[in-house]
Structure 1
Amino acid sequence: MTNWDLGRLRVLRTLADRGTVRAAAEALRMTPSAVSQQLATLSRELGTPMLEAHGRRVRLTSAGEAVLRHADLIFAQVERAGAELEGYVRGVAGRVRVGAFATAIPSLVVPLSARLRHTHPDLELRVREAEAAEVYELLALGEVDLALSLAAEVPAARDAKFAHVPLMADPLDVALPAAHRWAEGPPPRLADLAAEPWIFGAGGPWRDITLAVCASAGFVPENVHVAADWTAILALVGAGMGIALVPRLAARRDDPAVAVRVLAAETPRRHVVAAVRAGAEERPPLALLLAELRREAAESPSVQ
């Protein structure tokens, strides 16, 4: 009977995700030689090589890819088994580690945590801020149990490692200096702002979103000031140095130096999703959190 060692299968999955033995070793906090040894043992146990040389690197063999397809189903089933047992043993209790991008923490995670302290005092949340794409790495490695991300960063639909739950469509508004000609009166169209100096980051999902939204309006924004932190972006806007698209979850409306305007015509949006490892959505604490996050998102005043 074939020995399917879960630990070695997870090493194979990490290598496939990270691309190199060294990167897999770093992610798993192992030495490269230990990773290579685990994979050699897996190949020997399964009776066929999992890896083959590809230039100066390695890649999965056809057998390795087949094993990984089945391994993902095994991982999901193990999560489901753990979920069922957890329901018998603890119910809705224990610790859940949540990874979330910055603007999701004050708008979704903090209100959820405050409510759960009263309704489920035996459930403890541990929060970790991470970029919208990074949370999937943390989820795959088991360093968080639930991830909040953006739909633009979701892995391909064929990726069987994760289960996703759509939460909300967060509208994008435009932040203008308070003295700007479009700060009052009829709402501007995005095209009306094409010649303005724009503020956004040098990389990452928000740059991609800004460029995509502006491209749909027929122009390429001039990235005059480069900033990724919302406090820095809004400070630059308030100083009259440029304008920026801001998600409604992140926009502050109590700064007299900044006017946040809803755009005319169709409002662009970014889509917020929750993700867990496939099968883990049946764990009682995670099932509760996913339901409560949907409720929190639906009731959020930021998107009304």
Structure 2
Amino acid sequence: MAEWDIRKLQILRTLRDRGTVTATAEALHMTPSAVSQQLTNLSRQLGVELLQAHGRRVRLTDAARLVLRHAEAVFEQLERADAELAAHARGDAGEVRVGAFSTAVSALVVPAVTTLRNTHPAITVRVREAEAQEAYELLQAGEVDLALSLAAHAPTAADPRFTRVPLLADPLDVALPQDHPLASAEEPRLADLAAEPWIYGSSGPWSDITRAACEAAGFRPHQAHAAAGWTAILAMVEAGMGVALVPRMAAVPRDGVVMRELRADRPARHVVAAVRTGAGEGGAVGRVLEALRRAAGAPAHEPPLPGPARPPGCPVGG
């Protein structure tokens, strides 16, 4: 029987994910030569070639991909074992590291932590603010136990490493200057704002979603100003410099800004949590997931969904 080495299999999986020996070494805090040596030893232990030279780089062989396909089931079972051991040893105690984008920290994570202090005071939650895509990179690297981000950046259904838990659809409202003609309109629509100057980020998910939402309404927005922070965006709206789409979770009241719901268009971003497959089925991580679901207004105890297709609407980042 072949000799299976979990640590070496983790190195092989990281090489698949990162693409190069150098990137793998950086992710695992190893030297490139140590990575190469460990994979050579694994190849010898399993009795198959795992890597092929491809120019100045290497690529995985079909045998390596077969090995990893089976190894994923092993990693999943080990995650379950870790979760069950922690629950057995500490009951409902433990530390959970959460990576979350900025508005989700205040709107979801803080209320969840407040609830857990009352219901499970022995659970410690450590929060790390991260951009949407970075949250999953931290989860993949093992630096957080739970990633709170957006459906646009969630793992796909084909990725066996993560389990995704839908939390909520966060509506996108339009921010208008107080004296704007549509500020008091009965039912404003995005199409009514086709000729307006728009304010949104110069690049990234928020730029993409603003354009996508407007194009779905039949026009391409004219970007008058670029800003990434909601404080800056709303200050410019208040000054009459343009209009903007703002997620409801991120909206901060300002005297000179009117937030209007777009009932006909219904743009929204979909907020999700993700854990490594098998890790959210018990113990402290499961408790934190349940508290997040309650904070989001989702039904408790609903089973996680393994990476479903992107939901309808306009999932966005920020």
TM-score by length of structure 2 reads: 0.90
**Identity in percent:** 62
User: CA separation in 2, counterparts of 1:106 and 1:201?
Assistant: 21
Question: Structure 2 regions of 5+ residues with no counterpart?
Answer: 299-318
1:9 is matched with which residue?
A: 9
**Deviation above 3 Å: which 4+ runs of structure 1?**
none
Matched, 1:258 2:263: no
Q: Please report how far the alpha carbon of residue 187 of structure 1 lies from its aligned counterpart in structure 2 after TM superposition.
A: 2.9
Is 1:232 matched with 2:244? no
- For residue 274 of structure 1, report the CA deviation from its aligned partner: 0.7
Range 271-280 or range 290-299, more displaced? 290-299
Which residue is equivalent to 1:89?
Answer: 89
Q: Secondary structure at the match of 2:164?
A: strand
Structure 1 position 223, deviation (Å): 2.1
Name whichever of 182-191 and 158-167 sits farther off. Answer: 182-191
String of CA shifts for 1:168-207, please: whole Å, max 9, x gaps. Answer: 1111101112222212232310011112111111222222
Matching residue of 1:295:
294
**Alignment check: 8 A CA contact 2:155 2:164 kept:** no
**1:64 equivalent in structure 2:** 64
Please tell me whether residue 178 in structure 1 is matched to residue 200 in structure 2: no
Label 1:41 to 1:202 Cα distance change in 2 as closer, same or farther (>3 A).
farther
Q: Is the 8 A contact 1:175 1:261 kept in 2?
A: yes
Aligned pairs for 1:116-127 within 5 A: 116-127=116-127
**1:99-125 per-position Cα deviation (integer Å, ceiling 9, x unaligned):** 001110000001111121122111101
284-293 or 50-59: which moved more?
A: 50-59
SS in 2 for 1:63: helix
* 1:43-97 C-alpha deviation (Å, 9 max, x unpaired): 1211112221223322111111111111211111001111222221111111100
Aligned to 2:75: 75
RMSD of aligned residue pairs (Cα, Å): 1.4
SS in 1 for 2:163: strand
Query: Retained in 2: the 8 A contact 1:93–1:122?
Result: yes
Equivalent in the alignment of 2:115: 115
CA separation in 1, counterparts of 2:177 and 2:31? 52
Contact 1:150 1:272 in 2 (8 A): yes
SS in 1 for 2:297: helix
Equivalent residues, number: 298
Q: Secondary structure at the match of 2:182?
A: coil
Q: Which amino acid in the other structure matches residue 184 of structure 2?
A: E
Q: Report the residue type matching 2:148 in the other structure.
A: L
Check the 8 A contact 1:82/1:283 in 2, yes or no: no
1:141-290 map, 5 Å:
141-252=141-252, 254-290=253-289
